[in-house]
Amino acid sequence: MNKLTLLSREQENKKVFFQLGKKFNLPLDILIYLYNSLIKSIYYDRSLQINFNINILSSRLCEPLSLCIDIDDKFVNIKNPFQYRIPIGRGNEWLIYSQKRKRDYLINQGLYNELSPMDIILQQIKIYGELNFIKKYTITNGNETLKIMQGMERIRFINTQSFDLFNEYISYLDLYNYNIVAYYDDYEQVWVDDIE
C-alpha cells in the first residue's frame, strides 16, 4: 500500500534521486546531471505531444489545403507529424482567422459549393446574431409594422433558406436601408430608410 505524501511530483522525483545516490554512493554532481537530463527529456516529449495535438487540430481546421488562403506551404506540408505545422508563436488562432477569411472570400465570390458544413453553420450563426436582419410583419392595434424575428422562429427560417440568404445578408451589411421581410418559407426584399 502506498503511503500518503504531501510532496509534489517534482519533490518525490528529487527524493528518489537522493535515495539512489545514497544507495550507490554517487556524487551530488552526477545526481543533479541525471535529474536535469530526465527533466529535459520529459519536457522534450511533452513538446512533441503538444505539437502533434496542435497539428491534428490545425489539419482539421484547414482541410482541404486548396481552400486555405494566405498559408505558406512550408508550414502546412510537413513530413514529420511532430514538427511545427504552424509558424512559431502564431498558434491555431492564425488558422482560425484564415478559415474565416477563406469563408468570407468563398461567400463573396458565390462559391457556395466549396463551403464546408462547418462554414455554412458558422455563417448561419453569424446571420442569427445580426438581430436587425430579417424582419416580419406584425399587426398591433390595427397597424401593420415590421418587427425583429426572434427565437426558434428565426432559427427555423434560417434553416429553410438556401445560400441566397447569404447574398441577402451581404447586401444588408453593405446597404444600411436594405433588409428582408420573412414569411413562412420565403421572404421579400425591402428598401426602407428606417425600420422600427
Q: What is the pLDDT of residue 67?
A: 44
Supply the pLDDT for residue 37.
92
Asked if 108 and 170 count as a contact pair (C-beta separation under 8 A), the reply is: yes
Each residue of 88-126: pLDDT tens digit? 556 666 666 667 777 788 887 778 787 778 778 888 888
Q: What span, in angstroms and rounded, lies between the C-alpha atoms of 82 and 79?
A: 9
Q: What is the per-residue pLDDT across 69-94, written as a single tens digit (0 to 9) for each?
A: 445 555 555 566 666 556 555 666 66
- Residue 16, CA distances (Å) to 1, 5, 34, 134 in order: 18, 13, 12, 68
Q: What is the pLDDT of residues 174-184, one digit of tens each?
A: 877 788 888 77
**Cα separation, 179 vs 21, whole angstroms:** 78
Q: What is the pTM for the complete model shown?
A: 0.51
Query: Could you report the per-residue pLDDT of 25-73, keeping only the tens digit for each?
Result: 889 898 889 899 999 999 999 988 887 787 777 766 665 544 444 455 5
